[in-house]
Amino acid sequence: MSAGYQAEYKAKLCAPAEAVRFARSGSNISMGMALGEPPALLAALNEKIEAGNLTDIRLWYFHSMPAAAQTLLRYDMMDHVHPHCMFMGPTERALAERGEKEGRKVLNFVPVAFSDAPRLLSQHLQLDTFITTVSPMDKHGYFSFGTNNDYASTAARSARHTVVEVNKHMPRVFGDSMIHVSEIDAIIENHEPLFEAPAREASAEERQIGELIADLVPDGACLQMGIGALPNEVCGHLKGRTDLGIHTELLSPGMVDLIDCGAVTNRRKNTFPGRTVFTFALGNKRMYDLLDDNPSINSHPVNIVNDPRHIAKNDGVISINATLQVDLFGACNSENLAGRQYSGSGGQLDFVRGARASKGGKSIIACTSTAKQGAVSRIVPELTGPVTTPRNDVDTVITEFGVAQLIGLSGEERARAMIALAHPDHRADLEAAARKAQII
């Protein structure tokens, strides 16, 4: 390691309390998302607030984790911290629910496509401080953003001050994932094991959906999918495929299984041939170990990975996304539940459009036909929340009852196809609603 870089590292290395000295009251602060969330820096900010030395901060982020829930996103911090969340999870839903019960608005949800987050954070507001977790510095003076490139690589360079938490467990990842010690204002070290997402066993309905999706994935396809039981179920059916590629927003354990077994080679990709591409990763230690120092796996900023124009450069893109509701024309609400914001739009529409524009590509939207043990139909006459993916963009919808390819269908044909995907207990009501609306 260069003596000069090592000296600069040591000069910037400090205790967490000193590292957060840049954070100012009344300013915009952003934190790394998911595994990029820096636990020790968040704890230091929390202590600074509790000591009365910091207040009225606007916290910008996607996808919070337990460290934030235990510090800045505690309900008793809401007089000092104003969350500006771009993707809601359990912590944000609990905050919003408690605030509503007490007649307070404590959370600000910011609608934005994941791909537009870097521009929002760098051009539409002035970030005072950005904090995130990175891998250890290499001999050339570079840290890696590891599992979380997403908006971090942009925010780190647009904020007035960037503070990093070095964690030896954070993998060193190739691609456009590096930041130099000269670009950083303060460094702390905190070597906590990375969070591992708990695995959930697929339901009988999800197993059926997984088989139906897998049947639509040919050899040589370029995959995008999310995390959870259904994507892992799909991946389990694809281990016999050849020359698959990966260009995905989220890299998950199921995809790593496909890399391990040789089904993924990335040979047929037109962009980054031979390399798996992602913008953030969340899974288990086995996956994190595979990412570390692996030149066949690259991460890039989300405005590149999720750009539909860039996605479409690859042939045979198969995009697989989940939704909460689908109306009779195929429009999808994937973020709002029972009239309340549940998650966010993420990158769904970007990948739907990118896959549709890909030569030989296909966008698949999947959901079980019902929720609440069958009491609620996910196929509905009208959406009860925002349109995440418009009907004009929806290609193929799948439930455990079958596959509906909607491109080129009339309104009536779409409605009949969607009713056929619904649970039999709800089909009569859906047909009656369609007739009343003169759709059929």
User: Which residues are identified as catalytic?
Assistant: 249
- Residue 168: CA atoms inside 13 Å, Cβ hemisphere, count? 1
Cα–Cα distance between 21 and 132 in angstroms, integer? Answer: 15
Q: What is the DSSP string of 366-408?
A: E--SEETTTTEESEESS-SS--SB-TTT--EEEETTEEEE-TT
Burial class, 24, CB count within 10 angstroms (exposed 0-12 / middle 13-18 / buried 19+): middle
Cα–Cα distance between 168 and 402 in angstroms, integer? Answer: 46
Q: How far is CA 22 from CA 60, 131, 179, in A?
A: 16, 11, 19
Q: Cβ distance 94 to 68 under 8 Å?
A: no
Buried b (16+ CB within 10 A) or exposed e, 181-193: beebbbbbebeee
Cα–Cα distance between 217 and 93 in angstroms, integer? Answer: 35
Cα–Cα distance between 394 and 302 in angstroms, integer? Answer: 22
Tokens coding 81: 């911290």
Kindly calculate the radius of gyration of the chain based on its CA atoms and give it in whole angstroms.
Answer: 22
Q: Cβ distance 17 to 123 under 8 Å?
A: no
Number of C-beta neighbours around residue 344 at 10 A: 25
| DSSP one-letter code for 148 | B
Q: Which residues pair with 402 in a beta bridge?
A: 399
Burial class, 138, CB count within 10 angstroms (exposed 0-12 / middle 13-18 / buried 19+): middle
Cα–Cα distance between 368 and 364 in angstroms, integer? Answer: 13
Sheet containing strand 297-299, edge to edge, reads 174-175, 297-299, 276-278
The amino acid at 356: R
Q: How far is CA 9 from the centre of its chain?
A: 31
Strand pairing class (376-377; 370-371): antiparallel
Cα–Cα distance between 132 and 29 in angstroms, integer? Answer: 11
Q: Cβ distance 144 to 47 under 8 Å?
A: no
Cα–Cα distance between 145 and 150 in angstroms, integer? Answer: 9
